């Protein structure tokens, strides 16, 4: 199955390795916590972490500069315990210095490489809305460890 953001083969994302759940691709599973954010301001406060974790695990959707900038911002924000307001301020400045963030190539022409991750959006989706806050915190911690490997 192919959408504009992911390619699933044999029920698995070819980039992050997430398994299809309830017939949803990893990109479709990503939409669920985006909706859940509207039900809980504490969950909405984790929007940066949710989006950046997903982005880091799907580099084909972004330009090389956009991807490297996200990795750098993620590491700095995590390592320095930045507040959400400060992260958003830094992100705005960072984005204004990158000509193009999203990959302009059509989905079928993008180079996708599988990397196995300890956690993926599958874990956030499977954990459900009631566990989303805990699971997103856990996801960002595992991503931070794994981007240095």
Could you tell me which of 45, 9, 3 has the C-alpha nearest to residue 28?
A: 3
pTM beyond 0.85: the answer is yes
d(CA 123, CA 71): 21
Residues linked to residue 9 through DSSP beta bridges, in sequence order: 12
pLDDT score recorded for residue 123: 98
Domain locations in the chain as residue ranges = 8-102+115-146
57-94 confidence digits (pLDDT tens)? 999 988 998 899 999 999 999 999 999 999 999 988 88
Look at residues 65, 57, 60 and name the one whose alpha carbon lies nearest to residue 94: 65
Res. 3: pLDDT tops 70: no
**93-148: pLDDT as tens digits:** 887 777 788 888 988 899 999 999 999 999 999 999 999 999 999 999 999 999 98
Query: How is 42-56 classified by DSSP, letter by letter?
Result: HHHTTHHHHHHHHHH
Rounded alpha-carbon distances, angstroms, from residue 82 to 53, 91, 123: 16, 12, 25
Q: How many Å apart are CA 123 and CA 104, to the nearest integer?
A: 29
Cα–Cα distance measured from residue 58 to residue 17, given in angstroms and rounded to the nearest whole number: 10
């Amino acid at each position: 199955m192919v959408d504009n953001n992911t390619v699933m083969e044999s029920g698995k994302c070819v980039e992050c390795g997430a398994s299809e759940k309830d017939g949803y691709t990893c990109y479709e599973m990503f939409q669920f916590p985006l909706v859940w954010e509207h039900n809980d301001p504490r969950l909405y406060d984790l929007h940066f972490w949710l989006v950046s974790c997903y982005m880091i695990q799907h580099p084909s959707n972004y330009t090389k500069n956009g991807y490297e900038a996200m990795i750098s911002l993620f590491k700095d924000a995590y390592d320095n315990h930045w507040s959400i307001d400060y992260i958003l301020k830094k992100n705005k400045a960072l984005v204004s210095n990158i000509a193009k963030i999203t990959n302009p190539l059509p989905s079928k022409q993008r180079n996708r490489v599988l990397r196995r991750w300890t956690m993926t959006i599958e874990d956030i989706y499977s954990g459900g809305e009631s566990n989303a806050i805990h699971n997103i915190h856990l996801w960002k911690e595992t991503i931070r460890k794994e981007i240095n490997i």
